Amino acid sequence: MRKSLLLSLLVAAAACSMGKKAPSDSTSMAAGDSTNAAMPAGDNAARDAVARLRSAWKDGADKKDSAGVAALYADDAVLEGTDVPPAHGKAEIQTRLGQMFAVSSIASIDSKQTSVAGDVAYDYGTFSQTVTPPKGKPMQMTGDYLVTLTRQADGSWKISHHMSNVQPAKQ
């Protein structure tokens, strides 16, 4: 049960983790995707804002600042991971992130695709992290994440839904 909870926390945290990739590289659509070429200039600005938010998430995770990272979520956001119940709202998300940050270190986050449609965006990618459970050996973990973001009334972006999936641990 303890290992399952730890794994779930890690999955959730990893999903939340958004890397430091520049908006022009891994956050762009796949090469040859015609939707990228037709994207309005405003969408590029939104994609840049999402990339900055992703970078702020990673910076906060590196500092183990669960309050700062939770502030990047909308008030009614949902954080979901493998084998743990969803965390609803900033307070539950902050608690979940604090649990995850206590036992993990995010090695990398690689955004594979960021798409924007009006006031909604999503960011999909992969992550890797090291998890060191109390009284346990460090485990290398990888997985996928999907984050949905919404543009706020002030023009900023907040995470509204965050899901992650961890692959089997490597020891």
**75: CATH:** 3.10.450.50
Task: Say if strands 157-166 and 139-151 run parallel, antiparallel, or are unpaired.
Answer: antiparallel
Q: Has residue 136 been placed in a domain?
A: yes
Number of domains in the chain: 1
**Interval 93-149: pLDDT, tens:** 999 999 999 999 999 999 999 999 999 999 999 999 999 999 999 999 999 999 999
Q: Has residue 54 been placed in a domain?
A: yes
E strand or H helix at 127, and its extent? Answer: strand 120-131
Q: Has residue 48 been placed in a domain?
A: yes
Cβ–Cβ under 8 Å, residues 118 and 140: no
Task: Tell me the whole-structure pTM to 2 decimals.
Answer: 0.75
Residues whose CB is less than 8 angstroms from the CB of residue 56 and which lie 6 or more positions away in sequence, other chains included? 72
Q: Has residue 24 been placed in a domain?
A: yes
Q: Has residue 171 been placed in a domain?
A: no
pLDDT of residue 43: 84
Domain range holding 15?
A: 2-166
Indicate the SS3 state at residue 105: strand
pLDDT of residue 169: 57
